Structure 1
Amino acid sequence: MPTDGLYSYIKSKTNDLTEEWYKSLDKSQDGVYSTSDPQQIELLKDQNRAFHALFTELFNPSKAGIHDDEFLEWIESIANDRAHQRTPFNNILSEFFRTQQQYMNLILSYAESMKQEYVSLKDVYRWNEIVVQGINEVILEFSRQNKKQSDYQLNAQKQMIDELSSPIIQLAPKTALLPLVGEIDTHRAKVMFDHTLQHCSEQYIDTLFIDLSGVPIIDTMVAQQIFQLIKGLKLIGVQTSLSGLRPEIAQTAVQLGISFSDVTIHSTLAQALERKQLIF
């Protein structure tokens, strides 16, 4: 069977494929392909060899193909590789297509080398179809894994930004400050609620100063969220002190019927800290 011979032929050429690929690689492009570090170059070649060891199994009838667990693990490892994450996506796709062309050239070379056994154009076409379909599936799966990793990093960065937008500063043992600056929308208010309760509980905070002097405006929903935060803090044993309550914010609270009877209120943060003898 010509396919059996092709499988053995390609298997014997996997190392050559990697060396030829790296030799013709455009090393001026951004990302992992431009590295001059010998260790990184060898790692890149190892990753490429691992690809060929798996991709050639497409011509092995006993294998499951691209959806083989080992192949999926390889794709995931490349998507999670930091050097590849720093590489423009179109550059990575370009290398997949160059690899596709390598396999087509290899198939043609094999067909021309068959002296004793006839290889038809139909065979060549069928093998090329296997290569094209295989590369397409690799690209699709890599795209899925790459997006998954990008979304994870984006969410992690967003979470970090959200937490930094509501920083809790330790002033003394069991005493902390939550300075709020800028506009507070519903999303930020929710993050502030969750982050503040968790931090105060973990750090055994029993007194929290919340300064609103840097907040230009608060809508009714956000004002309600701040009130809920104060109630939540009270339930875990945290005494709250508000400062910088602008007239507009106070007016919103009154309109909502929000009571701050259990909250210590000061006009400025400095005044609040002085009352607690925390002026530095």
Structure 2
Amino acid sequence: MPNQTIHGFISENQNELLEQWTNTLKKLSDQESYQLTDQVYKNICKDYIEILLSSSTETIAEEQVSELALRAVQIGLSLKFLATGLSEFWKHLYKEMNDGTLTDQESTELIWQIESFFNPINTEILNQYSISWEKTVSLQKIALQELSAPLIPVFEHITVMPLVGTIDTERAKRIMENLLNGVVKHRSQVVLIDITGVPVVDTMVAHHIIQASEAVRLVGAKCLLAGIRPEIAQTIVNLGIDLSQIITKNTLQKGIQTALEMTNRKIVSLGE
């Protein structure tokens, strides 16, 4: 049986193949500038050999394939790197199994046998890599969304929402939801939206801020906008954006002082 022949060769020469395939991955990694240890590449090749030996014509070692694919995602190997490495593995195997005495027909037959043995396994590894990558990206996206618009209570009845990064439509919706839910949850009277970390305030961003401010007002609280840097102020003026209905401050510190005054409190210095 062709697959049994290939399976037996891998089993008998797995130490030599492990060394050769590890060196192959290391050479490929130099081109991609990966900063991984030799042991990492050796472990990947060792796991790959175990998958080859555990798989048969009818079945593929799915659990081991999933674990290898997930490990590749976690250590940051690209799909291109993984696909190239898997392709190089079977080419090396062909060179080892072709002792130079094969006829052209026998050589072609050997290539077909090796390819038919490797292809289903390699395809499944790449498929599981894609699945693991999508899951990882999805989890990261959820985590970023949870951190993208936090509402933080800093004093009684005063909360702050620090915004960092670009504000798109999807994030603006989350900002609105967090604001309204937070105002009710914390019984806020004043909400500060700090845009110090927002690089650009254009018409769309300003529109979202105005909407958020109006929504906060409708649920019984007041909204302050802090972090208006000079370049942001100039952009707002040039775009003709009307923020006259929103109290604005250039720093979060001044915003908190104003919020305290709006709730009949203030910061005082204690004498020595």
* Structures share fold, TM-score greater than 0.5: yes
SS class of match (1:274): helix
Q: Residues 100-179 of structure 1: matches in 2 within 5 Å?
A: 100-109=90-99, 120-121=106-107, 123-131=109-117, 133-134=119-120, 137-138=123-124, 140-141=126-127, 144-145=130-131, 147-149=133-135, 151-152=137-138, 155-156=141-142, 158-159=144-145, 162-163=148-149, 167-178=150-161
What amino acid is aligned across from residue 34 of structure 2 in structure 1? G
Task: Tell me what 1:51 maps to.
Answer: 48
Do 1:169 and 1:178's aligned partners in 2 also have CA atoms closer than 8 Å? yes
Task: Tell me what 1:241 maps to.
Answer: 222
Q: Residues 169-208 of structure 1: matches in 2 within 5 Å?
A: 169-178=152-161, 186-199=169-182, 204-208=186-190
How far residue 151 of structure 1 moved from its aligned partner, in angstroms, is 3.0
Task: Tell me what 1:261 maps to.
Answer: none
Of residues 23, 27, 31, the one that matches 2:34 is: 31
Q: Distance in 1 between matches of 2:181 and 2:208?
A: 22
* Matched pairs, number: 238
Do 1:184 and 1:222's aligned partners in 2 also have CA atoms closer than 8 Å? no
Q: Distance in 1 between matches of 2:109 and 2:166?
A: 66
Q: Once the two structures are superposed, what CA deviation does each residue of 1:32-91 show, in whole Å capped at 9, x if it has no partner?
A: 5x52xxxxx334322211111112455x33x413xx42243134322432x2x1x45543
Change (3 A) 1:226 1:184: farther
Task: Tell me what 1:99 maps to.
Answer: 89
What amino acid is aligned across from residue 7 of structure 2 in structure 1? Y
SS class of match (1:80): helix
Give RMSD over aligned pairs.
Answer: 4.3
Change (3 A) 1:216 1:244: farther
SS class of match (2:30): coil
Change (3 A) 1:51 1:122: same
SS class of match (1:170): strand
Is 1:76 matched with 2:69? Answer: yes
How far residue 140 of structure 1 moved from its aligned partner, in angstroms, is 3.7
Identity in percent: 16
Is 1:64 matched with 2:67? Answer: no
Do 2:51 and 2:65's aligned partners in 1 also have CA atoms closer than 8 Å? no
Q: Once the two structures are superposed, what CA deviation does each residue of 1:172-191 show, in whole Å capped at 9, x if it has no partner?
A: 24532346799966434312
Q: Distance in 2 between matches of 1:104 and 1:51?
A: 17
Q: Distance in 2 between matches of 1:88 and 1:185?
A: 28
Q: Once the two structures are superposed, what CA deviation does each residue of 1:236-267 show, in whole Å capped at 9, x if it has no partner?
A: xxx5123469992457xxxxxxxxxxxxx867
Q: Once the two structures are superposed, what CA deviation does each residue of 1:146-167 show, in whole Å capped at 9, x if it has no partner?
A: 641563366257526732xxx5
What amino acid is aligned across from residue 273 of structure 1 in structure 2? L
Task: Tell me what 2:14 maps to.
Answer: 14
Q: Distance in 2 between matches of 1:11 and 1:182?
A: 53
Do 1:75 and 1:141's aligned partners in 2 also have CA atoms closer than 8 Å? no
Do 2:172 and 2:208's aligned partners in 1 also have CA atoms closer than 8 Å? no
Change (3 A) 1:146 1:106: farther
Q: Distance in 2 between matches of 1:213 and 1:46?
A: 47
How far residue 227 of structure 1 moved from its aligned partner, in angstroms, is 3.0
How far residue 127 of structure 1 moved from its aligned partner, in angstroms, is 0.8
Change (3 A) 1:169 1:154: closer
Do 1:97 and 1:135's aligned partners in 2 also have CA atoms closer than 8 Å? no
Where structure 2 has 5 or more consecutive residues not aligned to the other structure, the ranges are 227-235, 250-254
Q: Distance in 1 between matches of 2:71 and 2:163?
A: 41
Change (3 A) 1:176 1:146: same
Q: Distance in 2 between matches of 1:28 and 1:122?
A: 32
How far residue 216 of structure 1 moved from its aligned partner, in angstroms, is 7.2
Q: Distance in 2 between matches of 1:8 and 1:213?
A: 65
